[in-house]
Amino acid sequence: MKLKWTALMFTALFCTALTGCGASAGALQENADKFNVVCTNFAEYDWARQLTKGLENQFEITYLLENGVDLHNYQPSAADIAKISTCDLLIYVGGESDHWVPDALQSAVNPDMQVIRLLDVVQALEEETVEGMEAEEEEEEESDAPEYDEHVWLSLRNAAQCCSKISEALRTLEKDPTATQKLQLNEESYQEQLTALDSEFLEVSTQTQEKPLIFADRFPFRYFVEDYGYTYYAAFPGCSAETEASFETVAFLAQKADETGVSMIFTIEGGSSAVAEAVRDSTAAKNQHIVSLNSLQSVTSDQISEGATYLSLMTDNLNVLKGDAAAT
Ligand SMILES: [Zn+2]
């Protein structure tokens, strides 16, 4: 019995050694055979997933934040670092919330690893503090280097640029011509969907952009408003951890809501609407709807298994903005 077991083990090891590199060895040893793609946020994860559709047996896509922790609060575990150090493609933003990535890359053991930093792919915009916003406390080590807004994925046009970069990297990994062609077709079809949704946003924004977006919350939508010409007021900058607004901030936002006659006061997903309610209660009209735009910063694996995608969540945002178009 013991002898038989050893022989079996040996056969298994030998097969593994033979088929260890390359993605065509089938189900024998699942993840080791696949190209491993690691993503630090939901948008990157979903883009990689859509771009490799139909090739799930060849690409393993990892979303590090799947338990839904807000990406600003995420700390990589030892297992996450290990995953990063051996992956074939790492996609990260390169901003405030995944600032830990360069350190993690120090321990990378795969010399052929490809790394995509989204802030290098898009036209990066500097962080901005607008009138009425509670500025973030400056960090101790103050440097003169500009700080770029990291929430690049909230622009569909940025998404298009990121996806073409990601698809290009995937095609570099993949050697099989049939699979490469599939990657190409996936990208074309996904780019079409991004363009179609961008056109819809453009149409809605032309009907609604005269009025500012008033955020009684943090404001990660800088790239989004840049695309569609909205102005905005917000309680806190995009990466702020602040949740309680001062009396002055509430009064300022309420005054702007009254002056401009907006029908909605915005929050982002996952937070409390207490500040928004305080703003509404401080207006003269007191009739604004409190609505939430999803900034895709804390999407859970439950939401993913229920079918949430980058496009579905951005379409939900479109419908929220359409509500405004209907109300005015
Ligand atoms: Zn942020």
Q: 52 CA distance to ligand 1 centroid (A)?
A: 27
Give 8 Cα–ligand 1 centroid separation in angstroms.
52
Q: Tell me if 144 is assigned to some domain.
A: no
Residue 21 pLDDT exceeds 80: no
Note whether 35 and 182 are same-domain residues: yes
Please give the residue range of the domain that contains residue 275. 197-327
- 149 CA to middle of ligand 1, Å? 7
Looking at every residue in the chain, the average pLDDT score rounds to 88
Spacing, Cα 28 to ligand 1 middle (Å): 41
Residues 278, 293, single domain; the answer is: yes
Gap from CA of 127 to ligand 1 centroid (Å): 10
Same domain, 228 and 101: no
Task: List pLDDT tens digits, range 95-144.
Answer: 999 999 999 999 888 999 999 999 999 999 998 999 999 987 655 555 67
**The pLDDT value given to residue 23:** 38
Cα–Cα distances (Å) from 3 to 9, 113, 239, in that order, read: 10, 41, 61
Nearest Cα to 236, choosing from 260, 214, 257, 258? 214
Q: Is the pLDDT of residue 28 over 80?
A: no
Domain assignment present for residue 221? The answer is yes
**What is the distance in A from the centroid of ligand 1 to the CA of 220?**
7
2 pLDDT more than 80: no
Same domain, 48 and 59: yes
Based on the domain organization, do 248 and 286 belong to the same domain?
yes
- Rounded distance from Cα 87 to ligand 1 centre (Å): 25
The pLDDT of residue 275? 96
Which residue type does 269 have?
A: E
Are 113 and 228 contained in the same domain? no
Arithmetic mean of pLDDT, 300-306: 94
**How far away, in angstroms, is 70 Cα from ligand 1 center?**
9
22-26, 74-78, 178-182 — which is least confidently predicted?
22-26
Compute the distance from residue 97 Cα to the ligand 1 centre, in Å. 6
Evaluate whether residue 7 is within a structural domain.
Answer: no
Q: How far does residue 20's CA lie from ligand 1's centre (Å)?
A: 39
Helix (H, G, I), strand (E, B) or coil at 216: strand
pLDDT tens readout for residues 207-233: 988 999 999 999 999 999 999 999 999
Instruction: State which of 179, 196, 213 marks the end of a domain.
Output: 196
Amino acid letter for position 152: V
Last residue of a domain, one of 134, 168, 196: 196
Please report, for residues 83, 147, 165, 177, the alpha-carbon distance to residue 95 in angstroms, rounded to integers and kept in the order given: 20, 8, 18, 35
> Sign (positive/negative) of CA torsion 175, 178, 181, 182?
negative
Q: 30 pLDDT exceeds 90? A: no
Cα–Cα distance, 208 to 144 (Å, whole number): 37
CA of 262 to the centre of ligand 1 (A): 26
pTM metric for this prediction: 0.87
* Residue 117 in domain: yes
9 part of a folded domain: no
H-type helices in the chain, by residue range?
2-19, 30-33, 42-51, 78-86, 101-105, 118-121, 156-173, 177-208, 222-228, 247-260, 274-282, 301-305, 310-327
Q: What average pLDDT does the segment 247-253 reach?
A: 97
Q: Are residues 204 and 190 in the same domain?
A: no
What's the gap in Å between 234 CA and the centre of ligand 1?
A: 15
Total of domains in the chain: 2
171 and 245 part of one domain: no
Kind and range of the H or E run holding 298:
none
49 shares its domain with 187? yes
Q: What is the pLDDT of residues 137-169, one digit of tens each?
A: 655 555 677 889 999 999 999 999 999 999 999
* Least confident stretch, 36-50, 140-154, 287-301: 140-154
Q: List the CATH number of the domain containing 241.
A: 3.40.50.1980
Per-residue model confidence (pLDDT) at position 142:
58
Read off the pLDDT band of 72 (50, 70, 90): confident
Residue 140: inside a domain, yes or no? no
**Cα(first)–Cα(last) distance of the chain, in Å?**
80
CA-CA distances (angstroms) from residue 170 to 10, 40, 116, 130, 160?
A: 34, 17, 11, 39, 15
**Alpha-carbon Rg for the chain in angstroms:** 23
Beta bridge partners of 289: 264
What separation in Å is there between the alpha carbon of 223 and the centre of ligand 1? 12
Tell me whether residue 1 is in a domain.
no
- Strands 59-63 and 35-39 turn out to be parallel
Q: Is the pLDDT of residue 310 over 50?
A: yes
Q: What is the pLDDT of residue 31?
A: 62
Q: 87 with 233, same domain?
A: no
- Residues 158, 290, single domain; the answer is no
CA of 238 to the centre of ligand 1 (A): 5
CA of 113 to the centre of ligand 1 (A): 26
Query: Can you tell me the mean pLDDT for 261-281?
Result: 95
Compute the average pLDDT of residues 296-318. 96
- For residues 210 and 299, state if they share a domain: yes
* Ligand 1: centre distance to CA 7 (Å): 54
- Mean pLDDT for the stretch of residues 235-241: 91
Q: How far is the CA of 102 from the centre of ligand 1 (A)?
A: 17
Q: Is the pLDDT of residue 1 over 50?
A: no
Confidence of residue 10 (pLDDT cuts 50, 70, 90): very low
CA 235 to ligand 1 center in whole angstroms: 15
Distance from the alpha carbon of residue 206 to the mean position of ligand 1, in angstroms: 27
Domain membership of residue 312 (yes or no) is: yes
Task: Tell me what the mean pLDDT of segment 63-80 comes to.
Answer: 87
Last residue of one domain, picked from the residues 180, 196, 212 = 196
pLDDT tens, position by position, 165-209: 999 999 999 989 999 999 999 999 999 999 999 999 999 999 988
Instruction: Decide if pLDDT at 248 tops 90.
Output: yes
Residue with the bigger pLDDT between 317 and 73: it is: 317
